[in-house]
Amino acid sequence: MQRIILDVDSAGDDILAVLFAAAHPDLKLEAVTTVTGAAGPIEQVTNVVLNTLTLAGRDDIPVYAGAWRPIVGNSKEDMEAPVHFEKRLVARFGDRLKKFNPPAPQPKRPANAEHAVDAIIRLVLDNPGEITLVTTGPCTNAALAFLQEPRLAGALKDMLVLGGNFITPGNITPLSEYNIWADPEAARIVLNADVNKILVPLDVCEDNRCADSMMTRDDIFDMVTASKANAVVDMIADSFPIYIDIWREFFDLVGFPMDDVITVALAIAPDLVTTTEPLFADVVIEKGVARGQTVAHRGRQLLPGGGSKTTRIAQTIDGKRFLRMFKETMARYERGN
């Protein structure tokens, strides 16, 4: 049993990651923490998580709201890029966009009163060497926790971090991926932290080289056909076709990339991916097109630099095995299971 804290920003695949973590028999989801990111303000992010856990029948899992803004961030206009992205899609998809990142209804229960950063610190220090911290949105909460509590790095079992790009072009700038770009200062703190981690970049999620890890309409059909009374599968079938179509038409991908779920799955099946040897990874924080670029210290350079070699970067993925694992886990929501 792998114990995890899942830190999310509640974009589409974060919802699937929460459902996966809440249902997989080899995972114990200790808490979900929320951070402002691609889905909008912290209230929306947190309400999406609360509603998702209610759908999953897991209102026993605590939820803690976290950072409402990045440590530094970018210009206001640039930070609202996901909102502008949605507006650009209106002409093409019309009313179908109502199912894409819709405003969350009022949840049945409130979030826990403790701040996400304090909750991460408390849970990890109370269980040294037992908990893996999984971040699938901007790294703000994790970075603030490291800054606030120097003992945190030594008490974590390890980390799984979704972010960055090395071969695949970025989805914010040609050089930067959203999670890292949204809070580069926080990402730099996390990647520099002296804790073993796997970094999951766009290269193994949002690239047609790993198409067999993406959810398609065929996968949804498979889940629906196999289910008889599964509210989670019904939600996926209702809400996620628009995600598939957007990522196919806007990003030229064959399906909807499952970045966040892949990252969570590595907690129980790290061999789903091949990785580099442990190395030092850093983040460009200067202004310009390179802001948020993730840099791996490889090869031999003349200028001194670098730090602890604690990051392994995912390079390839067994996509068919991953998707099979995902669909089998969603099937566990069948009523009566």
Average pLDDT along the chain: 94
- Main-chain phi, psi angles of 110, to 5 degrees: -85, 165
What DSSP character marks residue 280?
A: -
Give how far the C-alpha of residue 27 lies from the chain's centroid of Cα atoms, to the nearest Å: 16
Distance CA 14, CA 288 (A): 28
pLDDT confidence of residue 333? 97
Per the structure, the complete domain to which residue 11 belongs is given by 2-331
What DSSP character marks residue 204?
A: G
E-strand stretches of 214-296: 273-275, 281-283, 294-296
What DSSP character marks residue 201?
A: -
- The answer to the question of residue 28 being in a domain is yes
Lowest mean pLDDT: which of 66-80, 120-134, 220-234?
A: 66-80
More confident residue, 101 or 328: 328
- The answer to the question of residue 336 being in a domain is no
Q: Three-state DSSP class for 317?
A: strand
Which amino acid makes up residue 318? D
- The answer to the question of residue 80 being in a domain is yes
Domain count, the chain: 1
Distance CA 248, CA 256 (A): 7
Residue 337 has pLDDT above 80, yes or no: no
CB atoms within 10 A of CB 290: 17
More confident residue, 276 or 89: 276
> Which long-range contacts link 20-24 to residues 24+ away (Cβ below 8 Å)?
20/261, 20/264, 20/265, 20/326, 20/329, 20/330, 21/134, 21/264, 22/53, 22/56, 22/58, 22/61, 23/56, 23/329, 23/330, 23/332, 23/333, 24/268, 24/329, 24/332
What's the whole-number mean pLDDT along residues 136-150?
A: 98
Distance CA 266, CA 76 (A): 34
What's the whole-number mean pLDDT along residues 141-148?
A: 98
- The answer to the question of residue 337 being in a domain is no
- The answer to the question of residue 91 being in a domain is yes
pLDDT confidence of residue 250? 87
pLDDT confidence of residue 105? 87
Exposed/middle/buried for residue 335 (C-beta within 10 Å: 0-12, 13-18, 19+): exposed
- For residue 190, what is the domain's CATH number? 3.90.245.10
User: Which residue from 275, 265, 258 is spatially nearest to 315, judged by alpha carbons?
Assistant: 275
Residue 90 has pLDDT above 80, yes or no: no
pLDDT digits (tens, 9 = 90+) for 199-243: 999 999 999 999 999 999 999 999 999 999 999 999 999 999 999
Percentage above 90 pLDDT, the chain: 83
Lowest mean pLDDT: which of 85-94, 112-121, 296-305?
A: 85-94
What's the whole-number mean pLDDT along residues 21-42?
A: 95
E-strand stretches of 156-297: 158-162, 197-200, 273-275, 281-283, 294-296
pLDDT digits (tens, 9 = 90+) for 163-188: 999 999 999 999 999 999 999 999 99
- The answer to the question of residue 248 being in a domain is yes
CA distance from start to end of the chain:
19
DSSP 16-33: HHHHHHHH-TTEEEEEEE
pLDDT confidence of residue 324? 97
> Which long-range contacts link 124-129 to residues 24+ away (Cβ below 8 Å)?
124/5, 124/152, 124/155, 124/156, 125/149, 125/151, 125/152, 125/155, 127/3, 127/155, 128/154, 128/155, 129/155, 129/156, 129/157
pLDDT confidence of residue 84? 66
